[in-house]
Structure 1
């Protein structure tokens, strides 16, 4: 059997220069007979197993001891501070059991969790739970979060290592288990021998609950029982084989050829495999923030390997720049030839360049990146050389359903991929049908907001509602417009229909009344009240406004209230928009914005969203919520604040009711998926009071392509 002395081990390993798993972790696991590991959180225990070497390790009689910490809520910490839950094994066991059940319910961790459970049932893995603090005195200070590993082989040699560990799905990848480690060898001189002995002694003292300031207890029975109940001792080897196959599949789809490159998550692999089985056509209906862009990059890398020419369509100048940066960084090593169209780039029109770029042929990979506005122009459509050699990717694919954008759908291509959290166009069945016909529908299953939160790709969030009324003069204007609307509706009903002039008049009145809601005077004071009560310096907030007037009012009101770290972000702003976002991301503050933050802008640090903008398009508020739910090490929970305007009106007038329905649709959608779903109880009551069946208004809304005014080609 191979021993550690047979291995060529370095003093330290660092990604990306070193393939740490292949060069260090896996060979040591294969040669070891015992493995002691302190892994931090309990959930990270599943990542401490070296999957390709695990079967040989167990077959050789190997044993693993793991020390980890449970994830504690604020209530748990309070209970520990009072000296109760820390002494209650059953309470601790329930925490760990719930955490394990979450692992079992998450697609990316269910198989590793079952393997861990099986090895616990087989007594291959023994687990202790630790936390730091004087528990007996009722003063816990912090969670135990050390990262130490010790391998021993049959010859009595030991290898100790300390370093960081990537406790996410990519941590399962062959090159992803460890990011950086320092290594110490028991046979490499007295100093190294002494260091290994110190680490061994440290681990043993932790394990036996003999280290000062750290409390270590065996895995509570209620948690161990849950693991044993979920175990499959007869088939764990097959699960390991499946995990290894999935790891290799992820590496196969990866768009990055470099060592330690990013790999897709399980939901992305499943979507790509399903799309491929459908003839490489379809729409990924994936929640905002779930990695649609990276999934598309995986498909683009596959397309390049087939010698195809790729056309990527985006809805805005900002996304054009963002995609260009991502494409160059990902495929620059392949010699990517990139032709940018729109956003001030007009070279594609010269000398038949676009026609030449989209021809079939070999050579360096070619990609056309264009705004949807440019790509749907007659010049672009006529110059684009169609055929099966073209692969089209449409980001925010719902935009292609707008009447002026559908011209691009005349371009003949081979593979087609659409990306959108909400591909169905509200109130526009014709536009939706055009998109679905061209891309051949949604690739099942959709990856929903609930899926994304459960899988850990988005953060959970709380939802907070502040209702405001119209002021007296606004309510008077509202009532006056409502009376006019009532008269027109009654007249058209008596005439058994309305002519075009009457319909135009009615639409104008409805728009004027909707503006009263959008520009309600109480919105800026409500924003100030929320910010003053909740904002802390260094946080990252976005305030969504309806228009420039409201933005200015909110900005000035916040500054008058003493808020100095205010940023503006909109199409008419002066200065460099990207620099503004960079400064905001670096130092925190409050961004007061209009629609241009809705699609594709990635600021993971944003932790709070305050919504003043009224919208009857579900897509807009879904995208706004997605901006604040992106994962970041700077937050564990996001917060959404919503100012809801509820005017007084006669519920017997249907057009008046529609205003409230639109507001309730947004609020109920937000509240349903929040960690505090009780926040919408009052909304249910409000709906009942006004005779609204709230169960039927979730999808209420209309597509508003006028918001393209925020995106200039």
Structure 2
């Protein structure tokens, strides 16, 4: 057990060195520190770097409530609720403060501040007096240190600044182990009330994300402390809290989060928060595909105590939800959502959150036509996707934004790899040239398209491009190259998924595969579902599939992805390579591999663009 700090109950700057006699021993002992202070400067961190380094290594976290130094007119507007901090001036002012820090502080101090905030060790909120205190400042000065069992609070006149220790200042200390627990509990209640924006005469703001991003760029040196293992694990997932906070601040919008970074868990945390504070009585989850819908059912059952109704595949339970929507979750396919959306009463719409998973698919033309104006009436609308934008579909994107909202949070593949949530991967492009038969097919497609156009028929160029791409995806030129590659790289088939365009092309791949890996099978749809389960539990070593497994399926043991088929749009590629990037608890040193077929072309093509992008992604390294 860590020894309790031995400090006097009263200290002043004339007789005591606050850093050495108070902050250092308290920071070395504490697991948590809460501080409300009228004035904070980064020089305090420099003065207390020794204690803070121990605090960080012990897994400590600190919360500061302080006053923002902003223009008087903006302060007035903020206090009256006329503007939000992200609209102005709190952002621009804080950004200016970051710029001034860069000018006047040493690189080591800037680096330390940036790392403390990046690792979630320090969290700041800003308090502005309002109503009966309008025009004043947040000028309180108190704090609480939390140990494993005991606590300590203090009150006094000192600010958190270098000058604060040069003034004549004093503080009184209230340790619980000296019978002063009532004082400590009062300070804890007061801090929590302010932190949670529950004091009617204060308006409290988070540090804007735009300012955080600027601060993060100041991490020019290594961490000046050793991050605790507990904090290292917690730190990886702090993006979920940021996503939750961003969504709740707005009430609708899209979370763009890479595969494996916890979209489902984050969404269900939002549901629990809204349900617990009585903002909603029910939730609707909609997505396509029985695999994903079954997965949602499992997750909802694990992470909430709400009643689950299912309306997909063989489940026909929507009438139960419509009769008893309170404290319930409806998990429904998009197809059934179209059929039953008009049955949702106004009572349901105004007391529910709808979650649209894989939200990019929500912009499909049929859904745009049948659901326009029918999603926006829900009180809360949440979209989830690793790739929310529909490439080359402005109409679909406009529909998604109008019905659900814009993007409110982003945490992409690069972010996830750097933070160690997803694993690093190697990329191997295999070049091929179209066969003469391929070229003839493409020429015939172009000739037929042009002939129809000249004859006055209505033709769509996109259909021609799609048909040409399909010829390239099933080019037999890839097969001998794959065979030669396997002769030298048999291990690429270990825990692998091979994506093909058609079942027929998959059969041709099987003729090669059987020579190197007989323990494989196919998965093209519901009829082959048992094969997916066998692959998931390790009975099969390799799976040949098409689009059915692209989205949302969580099989952490997948090591390698082989792309015989890849679309021009990044959406599909991100979804597919994401199958292999999840961490595997049974293989802590896992490093994934992606093999891709690239058509050789003098004029360049979509394969060439994909190759450049995946090469860059493969260079991303884990930071922690």
TM-score of Structure 1 vs Structure 2, range by shorter chain: 0.5 to 0.7
What is the match of residue 593 of structure 2? 639
SS of 2:407's partner is coil
CA deviation after TM superposition for structure 1 residue 609, in Å:
0.6
Cross-structure match for 2:317: 347
Q: What corresponds to 1:476 in structure 2? A: 440
Residues 275 and 48 of structure 1, relative CA distance in 2, 3 Å threshold: closer
* Whole-angstrom CA distance in 2 between matches of 1:622 and 1:2: 48
Match in the other structure for 2:362: 400
Question: Residue 268 of structure 1: CA displacement?
Answer: 1.1
Is contact 1:354–1:383 with CA below 8 Å preserved after alignment? no
What are the equivalent positions in structure 2 for 1:284-303 lying under 5 Å apart? 284-303=255-274
Shift of the 105–566 alpha-carbon distance from structure 1 to 2, 3 Å rule, reads farther
Shift of residue 321, structure 1, vs aligned partner:
0.6
Aligned partners of 1:672, 1:459: CA distance in 2, in Å? 15
> How has the CA–CA distance of structure 1 residues 410 and 231 changed in structure 2, closer, same or farther, with 3 Å as cutoff?
closer
Q: 2:473 aligns with which of 518, 536, 548?
A: 518
For residues 159-238 of structure 1, the aligned pairs below 5 Å read none
Distance 2:464 2:114 in 1: 54
Structure 1 residues 384 and 640: CA distance shift in structure 2, 3 A: farther
Q: Residue 374 of structure 1 corresponds to which residue in structure 2?
A: 336
Q: Quick one: which of 480, 501, 505 aligns to 1:550?
A: 505
Q: Which moved more, 1:629-638 or 1:509-518?
A: 509-518
8 Å Cα contact 1:470-1:647 kept in structure 2: no
| Corresponding residue number in structure 2 for 1:430 | 395
Among 572, 576, 580, which residue is 1:628 paired with?
A: 580
Equivalents in 2 of 1:106, 1:609: separation in Å? 37
How much does 1:670 deviate? 1.5
Compute the displacement of 1:577 (Å).
Answer: 4.5
Cα-Cα RMSD: 4.1
| 1:478-493 to 2 correspondences below 5 Å | 478-485=442-449
The answer to whether the Cα contact below 8 Å between 2:493 and 2:517 also exists between their aligned partners in 1 is no
User: Matched residue of 1:458: which SS?
Assistant: coil
| Compared CA separation, residues 266 and 575, structure 1 to 2 (3 A) | closer
TM-score (norm 2): 0.60
Provide, for residues 434-474 of structure 1, a one-character-per-residue CA deviation record: whole Å limited to 9, x for no partner.
11122221104x21221111111111212110011122222
Deviation (angstroms), 1:230: 6.4
Change (3 A) 1:271 1:487: same
Distance 2:349 2:487 in 1: 58
Change (3 A) 1:574 1:588: closer
C-alpha displacement of 1:404: 2.1
Distance 1:303-1:591 versus aligned 2 partners, 3 A rule? same
Which secondary structure state, in structure 2, belongs to the residue aligned with residue 404 of structure 1? helix
Deviation of 1:568 after TM superposition, in Å, equals 1.5
Question: Residue 314 of structure 1 contacts residue 320 of structure 1 at CA under 8 Å; is this kept in 2?
Answer: yes
CA deviations over 1:197-219 (Å, ceiling 9, x no partner) = xxxxxxxxxxxxxxxxxxxxxxx
Partner of residue 275, structure 2: 304
- Give a deviation string over 1:201-248, Cα, whole Å, max 9, x none: xxxxxxxxxxxxxxxxxxxxxxxxxx997688xxx9xx99xx9xx98x
1:282 aligned to which of 245, 253, 263? 253
Deviations 1:100-132 (A, max 9, x none): x999779764759xxxxxxxxxxxxxxxxxxxx
User: Is 1:325 paired with 2:298?
Assistant: yes
2 CA distance for matches of 1:607 and 1:327? 28
The residue aligned with 2:408 is 443
Is contact 1:341-1:348 (8 Å) kept?
yes
- The correspondence for 1:541, drawn from 496, 502, 515, is 496
What is the distance in 1 between the residues matched to 2:221 and 2:526? 60
Note closer, same or farther for the CA distance 1:625–1:550 as it changes in structure 2 (3 Å cut): same
Q: Is the 8 A contact 1:459 1:637 kept in 2?
A: yes
| Partner SS for 1:410 | coil
Match of 1:565 in 2: 519
Gaps of 5+ in 2: 5-25, 32-52, 63-110, 123-218
How far apart are 1:512 and its partner, in Å? 4.0
1:312 and 1:369 in contact (8 A); partners too? yes
What is the aligned partner in structure 1 of residue 563 from structure 2? 611
Alpha-carbon offset, residue 645 of structure 1: 2.7
Post-superposition Cα deviations, 1:280-310, rounded to whole Å, max 9, x if no partner, equal: 2111011222211111121121122034211
Alpha carbons 1:403, 1:431 under 8 Å: kept = yes
Q: Secondary structure at the match of 2:552?
A: coil
| Partners of 2:613 and 2:492 in 1: CA distance | 30
For residues 246 and 489 of structure 2, the distance between their equivalents in structure 1, rounded to whole angstroms, comes to: 44
1:674 pairs with 608, 618, 621, which one? 618
Which of 245, 255, 277 pairs up with 1:273? Answer: 245
- 8 Å contact kept, 2:523–2:529: no
Aligned-residue offset at 1:314: 1.8
The two structures have a TM-score, normalised by structure 1, of 0.53
Residue aligned with 2:387, SS: coil
Measured in 2, the distance between the counterparts of 1:338 and 1:671 equals 43
CA displacement at 1:640 relative to structure 2? 0.6
